Structure 1
């Protein structure tokens, strides 16, 4: 574990995590009349409404992932509003760290399984694009950077190093990610609203990537398919960490939101048949958008 970095006055968390709805209609419109924070039968109605949403949900979320620098060109073309957001919003900042972790986790897994060329593309992406958008937030929060560790990991993969050396380099990057996350006070990092903010942003990114990966039953972009898997893995790890926090789990709405999230993540696990996808894959990307919407709705009830 890394030592906590000094707390930055610029990293004040919002009173509530601010989540853009997964659909342009907004979460409240999923059931027509179900208000946010509603549970029980009303939540079931909302769930039914999500299932009846249009199949081309990727079109309904056009621009949502780009707002966070997700999808192709992650970290590029960020507007001033989003740059400011990553400076002041802990969940946006931590989600960016999660996106980097997701890319690299998949890259190491690919390398471990002999897919070295594919692994190299995942290693380059965070250093080339995601990290650039993160640097101002690291500086404002007084967090240590880890650019050199990223470069060392990419170099190990590109030169075909032994897996042990690659895993050691990855461990160094993970230490850097942990140190950067520690710039957010531990109580705020552990807060259920912050964690769900991170989880939902990771799942939005995964949904967009998965939608790009498939086209009418064909896998047209294996890289995006893998990115989506990496982001979901990190989201599940965040959920597991929240589940292990007894204090947070006792808060109103947290246990039920965690249960919904776990159920939804289990339901979408079949979207990935293997680390490297087959040429044809009969899967509906809308399932991932729908799961994200259900989790967002459940999280909105947290007190």
Structure 2
């Protein structure tokens, strides 16, 4: 675990230790849930830096980790589609996921347990459309079908607000780790991880918009706090195909992740 991540999580843990959970707010997070969502986000985490310390979370029953894992897949695909739309086809291909990919494979038992069909066929269709350069219409259609299938698997409006918000925290932690891999002393040394961090952050920002009005009404204070945290995130990606120096600090992502977790307890 890198030093920035240690520092921000230590700050979050210190504040959490002195936080009193208020009644009638978002459900409190147990110590076990806090540990697994922050330290070991995913079962069967990928080889790209996602899910450090993986193996401690059961995606079949842990909704926040399940949503976070789906969010990572969304993030890869989101940035891949954006690169494709900008004409960076070779880069776009590197972000397309296949059913045998580790991120998706870790979800298969969860789909079975949750009585979800998954989106293996849709994932393959998009990857094939991009990799075989089938054209814009085919890529657009495949992407829209895949997004709809992922949305069906997520069922955000049927999850607790706490789990939805915690999934955002986990995605931003992972984005921070990817940013650290991608950027060293202002230079982008790994553009793929730099782009992944962008995708994960954008999906975290978008997911909160999927909450229903009833979810918002019942958890207004926590959601308002998280929306503020997301709005205050600095722009760390002047472009997703950078040249020259990048003035960004992953600490902003770690800090936002810690603040979002705190918001679920206040």
Q: Please, which runs of 5 or more residues in structure 1 have no aligned partner? A: 1-20, 39-61
Q: Please, which runs of 5 or more residues in structure 2 have no aligned partner? A: 1-5, 23-37
CA contact (8 A) 1:203 1:231 kept: yes
Deviation at 1:26, TM superposition (A): 6.2
Alignment-derived partner of residue 82 in structure 2: 109
Distance 2:47 2:41 in 1: 6
CA contact (8 A) 1:193 1:299 kept: yes
Against the structure 1 CA distance between its residues 37 and 86, is the aligned structure 2 distance closer, same or farther, given a 3 Å change threshold? same
TM-score by length of structure 1 reads 0.72
Q: What is the RMSD of the two structures over their aligned residues, measured on CA atoms? A: 2.9
Residues 182-261 of structure 1: matches in 2 within 5 Å? 182=155, 186-187=157-158, 189=159, 191-242=160-211, 245-251=212-218, 254-261=219-226
Distance 1:247 1:123 in 2: 35
Is the counterpart of residue 293 in structure 1 residue 262 in structure 2? no
1:153-189 Cα distance to aligned partner (Å, 9 max, x none): 111111222111101111221232123224x8x53x2
- Secondary structure of 1:124's counterpart equals coil
Q: Which moved more, 1:201-210 or 1:262-271?
A: 262-271
Distance 2:53 2:9 in 1: 21
1:19-49 Cα distance to aligned partner (Å, 9 max, x none): xx99553624149x742548xxxxxxxxxxx
Against the structure 1 CA distance between its residues 76 and 284, is the aligned structure 2 distance closer, same or farther, given a 3 Å change threshold? closer
TM-score by length of structure 2 reads 0.81
Alignment-derived partner of residue 58 in structure 1: none
Residue correspondences, number: 247
Q: Which moved more, 1:127-136 or 1:106-115?
A: 127-136
Distance 2:221 2:95 in 1: 35
CA contact (8 A) 1:144 1:179 kept: no
Alignment-derived partner of residue 161 in structure 1: 134
CA contact (8 A) 1:91 1:195 kept: yes
Distance 2:98 2:189 in 1: 19
Against the structure 1 CA distance between its residues 73 and 292, is the aligned structure 2 distance closer, same or farther, given a 3 Å change threshold? closer
Is the counterpart of residue 132 in structure 1 residue 105 in structure 2? yes
The structure having more radius of gyration, on CA atoms, is: 1
Alignment-derived partner of residue 9 in structure 1: none
Residues 140-155 of structure 1: matches in 2 within 5 Å? 140-155=113-128
